[in-house]
Structure 1
């Protein structure tokens, strides 16, 4: 108990345990002369140095079981023992005899160290909020405001200093602030809104350009794919373009080889010697066909063998596969040495 009283005397400013009153102590005479009960046991708690949450320290102090039943003046004396470093220096700088009650001491303590806490939090959070290399100005302002809300109430000047310091070096807003100093927080936010509008405009323009470029690229890719397919489709080196399928699903050629005989003659003479494929069945209703015509290739009525498009294509393909070569015309080749070809309607 005597050790605790010695601590209190030392921290409050008295020169010896027998001193009744210290004129330099921030406490009044009524607080200084109070003594702790003989059976009082000194509690243990972490000292407060002025750079952590002062409200938390105060709550822990009030919750100490050993302080139950101790009057408010005695609490003032013991609370000083829990102060250390900057916090204790603050207490020693208080005006002599200015602390008259526990409530006043508590209010003075919170008011002083609230500013210390806010400055510390700003130093560890807001000043660390920087605009990223590829981060938009809008996103940076949003992040900063979220962090500022966690810190709590701060002077507008301190907020201006922190938020302007976080603007990315070399950005357009940074260049603007170099040319003309930011006067206050309102001035800063006015400039921010201007550059955010510019930023959003560029973003929208780039999005439209990207969409247009994508459409153009897709169109070009489709054209290239068509050209590639046309290039890669099988064709005879000297017989013109390869076959295609029209809108009705019929196979056709761009050009057909001129023949020495009619297709009906060629088919009838070679039906049993050349691998003709079976033609697809005629689709038109048999009752509506021309009964006076007959196709030897289809073995059915409806059109003649000579006008049968399926036979026309079949003979063309057989020739391109190396059959029926003797029926290819021996006419003088065209300008590039190719056989004479005819269009489908010839």
Structure 2
């Protein structure tokens, strides 16, 4: 975790990498997460004093410290984090393939291709005043795929790359001119 990087961002990147690596040793997962934290981190100190007993306990502890960090950041900026629901989930999935593709958002009859995966765009814009978090997903949660997690919805059922609600929101933001820096110029597209 580099200086200036939030715990939320570090944890998101960590789970993304974790999902790509095979193996299932929870001790190694907890240890490598802890070792990636700065030495003066309160979470690192907490995990050193009282190691987590399992993956879900580790994720719960990380979530507590992310909320604490969010509160501190909000207090420093003195600007409310608009439309932000309470964070309760993690971009963690039990073993399985993680596919990242160049997302395309529909805007009328025009397709927009982003230069970055949607999870990176989300990380960069989630605190912007024009960004909005979604409503809770509808339907019976037990009928959703419990092995897939959407960072945007902060719920299980699909991946962020499959999230049509996020793609629609990003498409709307492109349409009004907020995400010009993230859109791939049609002339730059690789055909193949």
TM-score over 0.5 (shorter chain): no
Which TM bucket (shorter chain)?
Answer: 0.3 to 0.5
TM-score (norm 2): 0.39
When Rg is computed on C-alpha atoms for both structures, the one with the higher figure is 1
Question: Counting helix residues as a fraction of each chain, which structure ranks higher?
Answer: 1
TM-score (norm 1): 0.23
Greater RCO, 1 or 2 (C-alpha within 8 Å, sep 6+): 2
